[in-house]
């Protein structure tokens, strides 16, 4: 009796075959493939935007909300940014073959620890079609094949982007199957994974690493079914703490940027913590600026009392607000009595993504850096900088809030593992 192979298994097997060749392809060929992808993005912008319009129209009908629509939306500028990001990745050093460490052992063996591709990387993501290109470019440059599984919300956009990327890459000399796309079929009614996602997460021996980009619901659903290794690029419940020694004008600009510059992303601030010593002088002006920007405030008792006229329409914060990643123009605010109290609050409620302190006190800054357990800890800067492009990585697949094997932006080196190369001259162990 013939065995039926599912489309997802076929896509993953093609990626596996491609990965065996990709790991040995030279840097110039990989860079040429990325240049071809960037050119295809520019040449086919109209086609991409037409597909995106279909997704946006469906999203509006489904009432997915402004934050998700913003993540879904493409325009000429965003497509151009995608092309530039691909070119930036091409310009980065190739991590494959990089010698991490090397030395001669006392017995004369020459040992080198070198960076190598992981193999097949599956990326699961929601709404943002630019991830299709960013993730593909990063994987190809690091010698990996990629299987993409976007959400049904961006089905038309992802299909066009994945197809043009693979066509361009293969024409430039990369193996067929190096970029695969699995159609998203949403979540099950019970809140778990859809069938395609569950099957992808069980491709043992074929998929070497699965990276989900999404909220805690996606993480929880995958934890129930995944049998392949998973590196979570999970939620960002990020905080800005304004210390007693802060420059208040600087603090206001940082808070506004962290909350309002692009609220629907994982590095946007969701909670503002303010030292009680400057709360009375800082909060009224800060709240006025936030309200003018369209931010809804959720305030603890002291912030409500000290916030002045701008706090009159604010909502009293509930316990759930401290744990909420709003991804919208909503900000929770609490007053604390010390840097340690701010650290303790972040320890209880933060997601380990990005945290910031605004202060002129070196001791407070150092205490915050040492005390906060997060991938990225900022002093006098916005949390919005947590990004592979901003960190000089060209782009990122996501931001890992784990500690193994990568933490923070997942770029080229984070998509590699390593192996030891040992050379001898007839050595035997005695």
Phi, psi of 258 (to 5 degrees): -65, -30
Read off the pLDDT of each residue in 362-375 and give the average, rounded to a whole number: 98
pLDDT tens per residue across span 97-115:
999 999 999 999 999 999 9
pLDDT at 150: 92
Read off the pLDDT of each residue in 402-414 and give the average, rounded to a whole number: 91
Answer whether residue 125 is part of any domain: yes
Read off the pLDDT of each residue in 338-357 and give the average, rounded to a whole number: 97
- Reported as a pLDDT band with limits 50, 70 and 90, residue 185 is low
- Reported as a pLDDT band with limits 50, 70 and 90, residue 412 is very high
Q: List the beta strands (DSSP E) in 245-288.
A: 269-275
**Rounded-to-integer distance, Cα 211 and Cα 10, Å:** 20
- Reported as a pLDDT band with limits 50, 70 and 90, residue 214 is confident
Same domain assignment for residues 256 and 221 = no
Quote the crossing angle between the two packed helices 76-91 and 27-43, to the nearest 10°: 170
Among residues 232, 314, 224, the alpha carbon closest in space to that of 272 is found at 314
Read off the pLDDT of each residue in 232-242 and give the average, rounded to a whole number: 90
Among residues 281, 297, 401, 300, the alpha carbon closest in space to that of 345 is found at 300
Task: Kindly report the CATH number assigned to the domain that includes residue 309.
Answer: 3.40.309.10
pTM attached to this predicted model: 0.87
Q: For 99-235, where are the alpha helices, taking DSSP H only?
A: 130-141, 155-171, 195-200, 216-225
Buried-state track 353-372, b at ≥16 Cβ within 10 A, e below 16: bbbbbbbeeeebbebbeebb
- For the cut 80, the answer to whether the pLDDT of residue 5 exceeds it is no
Same domain assignment for residues 49 and 119 = yes
pLDDT at 189: 31
Same domain assignment for residues 27 and 114 = yes
Answer whether residue 395 is part of any domain: no
Same domain assignment for residues 17 and 112 = yes
pLDDT at 188: 34
- For the cut 50, the answer to whether the pLDDT of residue 187 exceeds it is no
Answer whether residue 400 is part of any domain: no
Answer whether residue 396 is part of any domain: no
- For the cut 50, the answer to whether the pLDDT of residue 1 exceeds it is no
Same domain assignment for residues 199 and 243 = no
Same domain assignment for residues 224 and 268 = no
pLDDT at 2: 45
Q: What is the 8-class DSSP label of residue 323?
A: G
Report the sign of the C-alpha dihedral through residues 366, 372, 375, 377, in that order.
negative
Same domain assignment for residues 183 and 200 = yes
Read off the pLDDT of each residue in 339-354 and give the average, rounded to a whole number: 97
Same domain assignment for residues 178 and 288 = no
Q: What's the mean pLDDT when you consider all of the chain?
A: 93
Read off the pLDDT of each residue in 243-266 and give the average, rounded to a whole number: 96
Same domain assignment for residues 121 and 75 = yes
Same domain assignment for residues 89 and 207 = yes
Among residues 250, 297, 310, the alpha carbon closest in space to that of 278 is found at 250
Answer whether residue 391 is part of any domain: no
Answer whether residue 401 is part of any domain: no
pLDDT at 97: 96
Tell me the residue range of the domain where 279 lies: 238-385
Within a 13 Å sphere around the CA of 310, how many CA atoms are in the beta-carbon half? 21
Domain count, the chain: 2
pLDDT at 264: 83
Read off the pLDDT of each residue in 9-17 and give the average, rounded to a whole number: 97
Answer whether residue 427 is part of any domain: no
Task: Kindly report the CATH number assigned to the domain that includes residue 131.
Answer: 3.40.605.10
Answer whether residue 428 is part of any domain: no
Question: For 353-401, what is the HEC assignment?
Answer: CEEEEECCCHHHHHHHHHHCCCCEEEECCCHHHCCCCCCCCCCCCCEEC
Same domain assignment for residues 18 and 85 = yes
Same domain assignment for residues 267 and 254 = yes
């Amino acid at each position: 009796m013939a065995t039926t192979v599912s489309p997802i298994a076929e896509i993953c097997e093609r990626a596996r075959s491609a990965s065996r060749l990709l790991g040995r392809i030279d840097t110039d060929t990989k860079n040429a493939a990325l240049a071809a992808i960037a050119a295809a993005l520019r040449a086919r912008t109209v086609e991409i935007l037409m597909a995106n319009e279909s997704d946006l129209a469906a999203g509006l009908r489904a009432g997915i909300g402004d934050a998700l629509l913003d993540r879904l939306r493409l325009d000429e500028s965003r497509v151009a940014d995608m092309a530039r990001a691909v070119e930036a990745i091409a310009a980065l050093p190739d991590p494959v073959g990089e010698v991490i460490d090397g030395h001669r052992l006392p017995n004369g063996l020459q040992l080198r620890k070198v960076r190598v591709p992981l193999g097949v990387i599956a990326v699961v993501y929601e709404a943002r079609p630019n991830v299709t290109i960013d993730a593909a470019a990063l994987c190809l440059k690091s010698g990996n094949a990629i299987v993409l599984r976007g959400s049904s919300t961006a089905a038309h956009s992802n299909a066009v982007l994945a197809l043009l990327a693979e066509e361009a890459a293969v024409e430039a000399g990369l193996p067929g199957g190096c970029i695969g796309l699995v159609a998203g079929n949403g979540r099950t009614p019970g809140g778990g994974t859809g069938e395609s996602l569950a099957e992808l997460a069980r491709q043992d021996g074929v998929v070497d690493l699965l990276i989900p980009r999404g909220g805690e619901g996606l993480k929880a659903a995958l934890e129930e079914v995944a049998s392949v290794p998973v590196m979570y690029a999970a939620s960002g419940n990020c905080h800005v703490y304004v210390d007693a020694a802060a420059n208040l004008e600087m603090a206001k600009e940082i808070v506004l940027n962290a909350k309002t510059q692009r609220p629907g992303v994982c590095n946007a601030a969701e909670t503002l913590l303010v030292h009680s010593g400057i709360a009375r002088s800082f909060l009224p002006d800060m709240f006025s600026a936030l309200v003018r920007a369209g931010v809804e405030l959720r305030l603890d008792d002291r912030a409500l009392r000290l916030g002045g006229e701008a706090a009159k329409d604010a909502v009293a914060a509930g316990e759930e607000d401290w744990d909420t990643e709003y991804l919208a123009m909503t900000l929770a605010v609490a007053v604390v009595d010390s840097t340690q109290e701010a650290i303790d609050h972040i320890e209880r409620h933060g997601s380990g993504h990005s945290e910031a302190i605004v202060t002129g006190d070196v001791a407070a800054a150092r205490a915050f850096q040492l005390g906060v357990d997060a991938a990225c800890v900022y002093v006098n800067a916005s949390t919005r900088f947590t990004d592979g492009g901003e960190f000089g990585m060209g782009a990122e697949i996501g931001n890992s809030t784990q500690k193994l094997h990568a933490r923070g932006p997942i770029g080229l080196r984070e998509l590699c593992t390593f192996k030891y190369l040992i050379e001898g001259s007839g050595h035997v162990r005695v």
